[in-house]
Structure formats: structure tokens, C-alpha cells
Amino acid sequence: MEPTPPTGPAASDSDPDSDAPSGLRGRFEATFWERHANPWSAGTRILVYPVLMYAVYRRDRRLFLAAVAFTAINPVLFPRPARTDNYLSRIVLAEREWLDAERGTMGLDYPNVLNVLNVPVTLYAFVSAIRRRPVGTLLGTLGVMVLKLWWVDAVVRETGVTGRGPDPDSPE
């Protein structure tokens, strides 16, 4: 079995071209994660959920479809960042490392239990939005965001991902 290229803290400091993935799927996945590590990608993706809930609450199909489309293209919409030593990039890098280690996203172990708890909170938020209950929609949306951010923060801490600073050759 061929070893997988490192993606953790040690890999963050290495040359990104040294472990070039082979095959179309590997190149696509590498491009996906590299571009999604842009802090604008991670930051705007976090903000999509409230927009989605607002669209459901208002029965705005165009806004709902725009939010879903943005969610789908967001990871590749922004360019590969020059540096990933900021918190939003580290979230994405840690999630990639977590998934590459096959630690899953759902389960009764910490921090995956946070995603399990997020299922009923998400259902509550959607039902509240469909029934146009503003307090329930707001509380559910906040609950979903808190649990998701708690999960990614725990994954960052558990993986120890630090990201990489600017390239020494860049004028930054």
C-alpha cells in the first residue's frame, strides 16, 4: 500500500509541489483543499448558513438557490492563499488532516459528538424557519454555528495544524 502524502503541520512547511497528487481525482482534491484554505473561502462559507436559513424563513427561492450554489462553488472560488497561518485557513487544513486520518465527522467520541448533536439542532432551525418562528430560527441557527465552530476548533487543536507563513520569495 502506497503511503499518503503528509498533510499535517509538517507538511504545511514543505514545498506544496513536492507531493504532487497523481490522477485526476487526486489533483482535483488537492486543488479543492488548497483553494478552500483561502481565509475568504472558509470565512464566507461560515456565513452562508444564516443566509440559507433566512432564505428558508422568507421563502426566497432565488436566495436559497444562490446560497446552495455558493456553498457548492465556494471551495474553489477563491485562489490558493499565499499563507495559511491564520485561523480560518488552519480550520480547513485541520479538517483535511482529520478526514485524511479517517477520523470521521460523526460519532460518540469527542469532538465528533458535536456534529451528532448538531443534527437535531439543524432540524430545529429548519423547522422553525419553515414555520416562520423567528426566535426558534435565530436560536437554531446560532446553535448550529456554535456547534460547528466548536467542532472545527477542537479539530484544529487535536491535529495541531499551524499552517505556513508567506513564501520567502514573495514580496509580502
Q: Does the pLDDT at position 167 exceed 80?
A: no
* pLDDT > 90: percent of the chain: 74
Rg (CA), the chain: 18
* Residues 67-83: tens digit of each pLDDT: 999 999 999 899 999 99
Whose CA is closest to 87, among 149, 144, 166, 6? 149
Whose CA is closest to 150, among 104, 124, 112, 121? 112
Q: Is residue 33 within 8 Å of residue 96, measured between CB atoms?
A: yes
Q: What is the mean pLDDT of residues 42-49?
A: 93
Q: Give the contacts of 132 (CB within 8 A, at least 6 positions apart).
A: 57
Residue-level pLDDT at 68: 97
* Residues 129-143: tens digit of each pLDDT: 999 999 999 999 999
Alpha carbon distance 81, 70 (integer Å)? 19
| Whole-structure pTM value | 0.79
Q: Does the pLDDT at position 93 exceed 50?
A: yes
Residue-level pLDDT at 6: 43
C-alpha 74, offset from chain centre: 10
Better pLDDT: 168 or 135: 135
Q: Does the pLDDT at position 5 exceed 50?
A: no
